Structure 1
Amino acid sequence: MSRGTNQKFKFTYLMKMMQEKTDDDHALTMPQIREELEKYGVTAERKSIYADFADMEKFGVEIIKEQIGRETYYHVGTRAFELAEVKLLVDAIQSSKFITQTKSRNLITKMKSFVSQYQGSTLQRQVIINDRVKSMNESVFYNVDEVYTAINENKKIRFKYYKWDINKKLIARKGGDWFEISPWGLTWADENYYMIAYDEWDGNVKTYRVDKMMRISILDEKREGQKEFKAFDMSKLSKTTFGMYGGHKKRVKIQFENSMCGVFLDRFGKEDINFKPIGENWSEFSVEVSVSQHFFGWLFGMGPKVRLVGPDDVVEELKEYGKAYFENMR
């Protein structure tokens, strides 16, 4: 490439190069900067580069000048995203079951453009997709977009809803019939994306796994269930529902050894539960939950340091669940 053939792109190449090749731990001297620009077919005098650095500040790209010995170095300071923030976003992408492996890799590659090439290499350890369950539905991103569009336009949607069978194949629920519902919100729980929607057929607000929804289309009909959705507390959904499987709502009483208090604070939050001492090292509290097998399994998983003590009908239901479980092991 001949010198000066891309002069009109000088500012763009300079900003790109500084963002990619410099950070708080890596800087370039002016001769090195001019040498890098020449690789793009751009020649530049020092004064014009200084002027471009000043203009970059207007675009939110901070260029820091630092004297080390006899050399003067330049590097990008403040960025739109700090390295710690990018790492946090990468971790969120990695931990999301609803994002496929392919989409995870693509998104992480894009995230690396927010930091320098040196900082991006530190993300490489996180780019490896670990041995975990990931969605195989590549259309999940478009599903989310369709749902949000329907919500913004106050329209119903229809879709096919799927589940896994014993042969590890996705099969359509309801014999392949269309689901026609009114979407009201989306939430992220248990590392999956869920749609909150009103089902006119049985008059209830329900949750649907977005990655199990296919062939979504927006209908011309207006949404229904506004009153029911307003009465539905989305903020409590992930706290009261275990594994996002519904169950009958009940206020239960739980007793626990004090060392287990963090488990319940993490699950239900500080505002929704109050601990009452009942002994030297034990306490109890009450909270509303969706009573289901997943709730019982959650309790069993904490062992003898936790016990359900009320109400009586839920305690009996728990006993029957445990009895049936152990009888099935014979």
Structure 2
Amino acid sequence: MEHERILYLLDYLTRYTNEKRTVTIHDIRRYLEQCGDLSSVSPLTIRRDIDRLILAGYAIEITNGAHNTAHYRLTGRTFTFNEIRFIVDSVSINRFLSNAQKKRLVKKFEQFCSEEDVRKLISRITLNEQSGTALNLLENLDRVHNVISEQRKIHFEYGKYDTERQVRYYSKKREMIPCRIVYFNERFYLKCVDEATGAPRTYRIDRMRRISAGDQPKKKAQLPVYDAAVTDIFEPEECRTVHLRVNRVLLDDMLEQFGQYATVLGDDQAGKTVELRVRVGISHGFYRWLMKYGSDVELLAPKSIRKEFSDRIQAVAELYK
């Protein structure tokens, strides 16, 4: 009965106290009376139980209120409420989790909150999504993490949409060494190295199934490192320093996109445009990224990169003649 009583006490402090709310011995006795045959617990016994919890490492704060009444609250929780709410919001907007998975995860985090805080946990963030996924991303991520930690090659089937809007899976021999998982543009990708050629490969984890570990690779794989900003998940063909003239209202976008690899060179006298020098990876993705800004971004230099981009624009224009 003693151990049961202490567990009830700890549960009560966890659920009904927080940074703003405390409870008294009277509150605790009333709660214990509702838990079963615990109506005869004395205030002295409750104080001793609280002392035992403190000795066991639980951070219980004791303050004095009106009429010298002791007030208790549990502090030093695993997570602060703001941290839990951030995690819950992140779970709520995850496009790869089903509603059932989201509810199950949120329910687990509720145990770290008081009853008062649980009512505040309801996420009011909505996700504007066009389609979902039928795969269990959590399971796929777990399997990929395990294969990486075991330092083995990875085998899997990979899926792509066909014209009937169905994902078709292809099984072929892949001697891929998994290196790391990358989160990019709201998707999880696996970066691999082809053991035979040493070439990097990228796969969407939500498009993988029947993931299994293979043999240990003959040598350690190493992904290339690029000292430049990248505009998509795939490897750039080369890294160059480019000059851009952009609409002034896009400066925030440019600096957030390129970070430390961007240098502001100055703006025009009218303050409508600004020039940037950017170290960036050149690839099909870079040119597609440029195209989405239309006339708001002009690629000034180098001449060879500008010429390549001009040719691509002309090819697009030909489609609409």
* TM-score past 0.5 threshold: yes
1:20 CA drift (Å): 1.1
Measure the CA separation in 2 of the matches of 1:58 and 1:197: 50
Per-residue Cα deviation, 1:69-121 (whole angstroms, up to 9, x for no partner)? 34543222331111111122123223333434332222122122221121121
In structure 2, the residue corresponding to 1:147 is in which secondary structure? helix
AA partner of residue 48 (structure 1): T
Instruction: Decide whether aligned partners of structure 1 residues 325 and 47 sit closer, same or farther in structure 2, where only a CA change above 3 A counts.
Output: farther
Measure the CA separation in 2 of the matches of 1:274 and 1:100: 42
Measure the CA separation in 2 of the matches of 1:149 and 1:156: 11
Per-residue Cα deviation, 1:215-235 (whole angstroms, up to 9, x for no partner)? 001112326452x42x335x9
1:141 CA drift (Å): 2.0
Measure the CA separation in 1 of the matches of 2:99 and 2:316: 35
1:259 CA drift (Å): 4.6
AA partner of residue 319 (structure 1): S
Measure the CA separation in 2 of the matches of 1:289 and 1:52: 63
Measure the CA separation in 1 of the matches of 2:293 and 2:64: 58
Measure the CA separation in 1 of the matches of 2:51 and 2:317: 73
Please give the residue correspondences for 1:130-169 in structure 2 after superposition, counting only pairs within 5 Å: 130-132=127-129, 135-169=132-166
From 262, 275, 287, give the equivalent of 2:279.
287
Please give the residue correspondences for 1:7-86 in structure 2 after superposition, counting only pairs within 5 Å: 7-41=2-36, 43=38, 44-58=41-55, 60-70=57-67, 72-86=70-84
Q: Are positions 1:210 and 2:199 aligned together?
A: no
Instruction: Decide whether aligned partners of structure 1 residues 323 and 38 sit closer, same or farther in structure 2, where only a CA change above 3 A counts.
Output: farther
| Structure 2: 5+ residue stretches without partners | none
Q: Are positions 1:197 and 2:192 aligned together?
A: yes
AA partner of residue 100 (structure 2): T
Instruction: Decide whether aligned partners of structure 1 residues 136 and 257 sit closer, same or farther in structure 2, where only a CA change above 3 A counts.
Output: closer
In structure 1, the residue corresponding to 2:310 is in which secondary structure? helix
- Structure-2-length-normalised TM-score: 0.84
Q: Are positions 1:261 and 2:266 aligned together?
A: no
Measure the CA separation in 2 of the matches of 1:327 and 1:116: 63
In structure 2, the residue corresponding to 1:17 is in which secondary structure? helix
Match of 1:232 in 2: 225
Question: Does structure 1 retain, via aligned residues, the 8 Å contact 2:231–2:289?
Answer: no
Question: Does structure 2 retain, via aligned residues, the 8 Å contact 1:160–1:178?
Answer: no
Measure the CA separation in 2 of the matches of 1:288 and 1:250: 6
1:197 CA drift (Å): 0.8
1:137 CA drift (Å): 4.3
Per-residue Cα deviation, 1:255-312 (whole angstroms, up to 9, x for no partner)? 2245533222212222x232223643422203122422x4334334445442112333
In structure 2, the residue corresponding to 1:13 is in which secondary structure? helix
Instruction: Decide whether aligned partners of structure 1 residues 106 and 36 sit closer, same or farther in structure 2, where only a CA change above 3 A counts.
Output: same
Q: How many residues align?
A: 314
- Point out the more displaced range, 197-206 or 249-258: 249-258
AA partner of residue 225 (structure 2): F
Match of 1:3 in 2: none
Question: Does structure 1 retain, via aligned residues, the 8 Å contact 2:243–2:275?
Answer: no
Instruction: Decide whether aligned partners of structure 1 residues 179 and 35 sit closer, same or farther in structure 2, where only a CA change above 3 A counts.
Output: farther
Match of 1:122 in 2: 120
Calculate the aligned-residue CA RMSD, in Å.
Answer: 2.9
- Point out the more displaced range, 44-53 or 14-23: 44-53
- Structure-1-length-normalised TM-score: 0.82
Question: Does structure 2 retain, via aligned residues, the 8 Å contact 1:7–1:42?
Answer: no
AA partner of residue 168 (structure 1): R
Measure the CA separation in 1 of the matches of 2:131 and 2:50: 44
AA partner of residue 238 (structure 2): K
1:147 CA drift (Å): 2.1
Identity of aligned pairs, percent? 22
In structure 2, the residue corresponding to 1:155 is in which secondary structure? coil
From 299, 306, 309, give the equivalent of 2:300.
309
- Point out the more displaced range, 79-88 or 51-60: 51-60
Question: Does structure 2 retain, via aligned residues, the 8 Å contact 1:255–1:285?
Answer: no
AA partner of residue 288 (structure 1): V
In structure 2, the residue corresponding to 1:194 is in which secondary structure? strand
AA partner of residue 84 (structure 2): V
Measure the CA separation in 1 of the matches of 2:205 and 2:104: 20
In structure 2, the residue corresponding to 1:177 is in which secondary structure? coil
Question: Does structure 1 retain, via aligned residues, the 8 Å contact 2:93–2:127?
Answer: no
Question: Does structure 1 retain, via aligned residues, the 8 Å contact 2:92–2:123?
Answer: no
Instruction: Decide whether aligned partners of structure 1 residues 92 and 163 sit closer, same or farther in structure 2, where only a CA change above 3 A counts.
Output: same
Question: Does structure 2 retain, via aligned residues, the 8 Å contact 1:164–1:171?
Answer: yes
Measure the CA separation in 1 of the matches of 2:59 and 2:220: 50
Measure the CA separation in 2 of the matches of 1:130 and 1:225: 40
Question: Does structure 1 retain, via aligned residues, the 8 Å contact 2:193–2:200?
Answer: yes
